[in-house]
Amino acid sequence: MLLKRFFVFFGAAASSSSPSSYCCYYWSYSMITTGGEEGRSGSSTFRRAAAEWAGRSSARPSPTSSPPGDLRGRIHGEPHLQARKDLPVGPVRFPDGGIGGRGAEPVRAAERGAAVRVQLPAEHRRDTGEVVYAGAGREMHREMRMISLNFMSNTRLRDHLLPEVERHALHVLRSWHEGPPFSAQDEAKKFSFNLMAKNIMSMDPGEAETEKLRREYITFMKGVVSAPLNFPGTPYYKALKSRSAILTVIERKMEERMRKMNQKVEIIEEDDLLGWAMKQSKLSKEQILDLLLSLLFAGHETSSMALALAIFFLEGCPKAVRELREEHFEIARKKKDCGESRLNWEDYKKMEFTQCVINETLRLGNVVRFVHRRVIRDVHYNGYDIPRGWKILPVFAAVHLDSSLYQDPHQFNPWRWKSGLSSAVSLPPTSNFMPYGGGPRLCAGSELAKLEMAVFLHYLVLKFSWELAEPDQALAHPFLDFQKGLPIKVYSIT
């Protein structure tokens, strides 16, 4: 049994002098892990940890140049840096970064180009597979990324994915009726999951296999962020079981596809991501399994939460709903005059205020608050020396909620994104806007995510008005989640 230390990071931008300036505040908490090599040899693990710490301690920079913080052992971390987790309120003033706790690795909340690489927590790497898309090595990541980019290219978005997004949005919204409240968050998750399951493995919504996979995925997500206590009855144990069940479904789909390919049977599902990965790459079976599981997570969890946040923010801003509805009524009217019913790419490009709503939702909501990186060479950053091997966490929420960059940063104001009406203090908003990361690890599905939100909002405002059935708020622990599931009541628009 091993007592481990972990850090949770949030933050606010430290200065407006550079859009890459970050700061963080954090607290540490203890976890008990059992099983595996660490659980079987606790004393040797402690000796290894002590040896590693001695090496790190001797290699650290001088006290005058190291980030502020306390490297002495503490069970409860830095109490003066403990923080609220509720969305979207963040800190007001904190230093550029810091270190804390002898049991954890030194950390920084900053990023500097090629000096860093992706470094996910060990628990995340283990729970989501031996090879994870976001944490893959350079060559493997390039291969996986090219598959994803080609599959979600602008051509495919226009010709194939737009009709699919529209079909799945209508499938969900047609089940909405006036009456008792229901969870908007669950409906958003259903929409995005069905869309990803269809386009990853050609699984249709409503089918028994699809619903079973969705239930397993919900169990997986509830446990993967819990304390790693791997014994029957714990959320973590259930999550590992669900992960195995999900991979079994994906593996079975792969075997069916391979059998058809060997028998030269026509495969009508070959336009899904599974078919692309099997035909257009040199990835191994295990790598394809991990790629599909990773993209199922990335394409479902973040998109659904962004959509739920848009519903939440719009409910509190009637003026934005009115302008949004006017935009979409005009699009629908012109389509009716032309005798058309389905959306096309030109319609999507006309949704200008919708894009403002999407940008503001992503800025204020911060679905992805930070990412994990590791320094691969010594870096001098903002007056500090950051040694090779230290972990850093770029905090996107820090920039998005910085009052030196955005006026009234905690206010939902989609008009700040209108051309000529920028409410940024120093730079145009897009220069300080990173909802999908940046650089070579920029989210490959960012355009698909925005398309999903735009199409769903199009039909939502045309068909319904809505209100919160009871007060609710989203908390980050570490993934965003509405405490009550965002219960809403809808009213049909006649």
* pLDDT for residue 268: 57
In the chain the domains, ranked by start, together with CATH numbers, are 2-492 (1.10.630.10)
User: What are the tens digits of pLDDT across the range 228-278?
Assistant: 888 898 888 999 999 999 999 989 988 888 888 787 766 555 578 888 888
pLDDT at 231: 86
Taking residue 476's Cβ as centre, other Cβ atoms within 10 Å add up to 18
Torsion of CA 112, 434, 295, 454, to 10 degrees: -170
**Pick from 345, 339, 403, 399: which is nearest to 368 by CA?**
399
322: which 2 tokens? 């009115």
Cβ of 100: how many Cβ atoms within 10 Å? 24
Cβ neighbors of 260 (< 8 A, separation 6 or more) are 266, 267
Instruction: Judge contact between 321 and 491, C-beta under 8 A.
Output: no
Q: Strand ranges (DSSP E) for 339-444?
A: 373-375, 379-381, 384-386, 391-392
Token output for 152:
């979600």
**Secondary structure letter of residue 212 according to DSSP:** H
- Whether residue 443 is annotated as binding a ligand: the answer is yes
Separation CA 110–CA 391 (nearest Å)? 9
Q: How much is the pLDDT for 434?
A: 81
Query: Half-sphere exposure of residue 251, counting CA atoms within 13 Å on the CB side?
Result: 11
Tokens of 431: 């220069």
Q: Among 189, 178, 191, which Cα is nearest to 217's?
A: 189
pLDDT at residue 21, as a whole number: 31
Angle between helices 208-224 and 285-315 (to 10 degrees): 80
**What are the angstrom distances between the C-alpha of 313 and each of 281, 398, 446?**
41, 20, 20
Which pLDDT value is given to residue 94? Answer: 33
Q: Taking the CA of residue 199 as centre, how many other CA atoms within 13 Å lie in the half-sphere pointing to its CB?
A: 25
pLDDT recorded at residue 295: 84
In Å, the largest CA–CA distance within the chain is 76
Q: Give the dihedral sign, CA 331/333/338/342.
A: positive
36: left (phi over 0), alpha (psi -120 to 50) or beta: left
What values do phi and psi take at 379, rounded to 5? Answer: -130, 135
In the sheet that holds 107-108, the strands lie side by side as 107-108, 391-392, 373-375, 116-118
The pLDDT value given to residue 314: 98
How many other C-beta atoms lie within 10 A of the C-beta of residue 73?
11
Q: What is the pLDDT of residue 289?
A: 87
- Return the ∠ at Cα 100 (arms to 3 and 63), rounded to 5°: 135
Question: So what's the pLDDT on residue 136?
Answer: 53
The span from the CA of 392 to the CA of 7, in Å, is 11
Which pLDDT belongs to residue 77? 36
- Quick check: 365 and 346 in contact, CB under 8 A? no
Q: What is the mean pLDDT of each run of 10 residues along the chain (494 residues)?
A: 28 31 29 29 37 42 56 40 38 38 40 44 46 56 80 90 96 95 96 92 89 89 79 89 91 87 66 82 82 82 92 97 98 93 95 96 87 81 80 82 90 88 49 75 84 98 97 83 95 88
Query: Which residue pairs from 241-244 have beta carbons closer than 8 angstroms and sit at least 24 positions apart in sequence?
Result: 242/216, 242/217, 243/127, 243/128, 243/293
pLDDT in the model for residue 265: 66
Instruction: Please tell me the predicted confidence (pLDDT) of residue 52.
Output: 41
At residue 310, the pLDDT reads 97
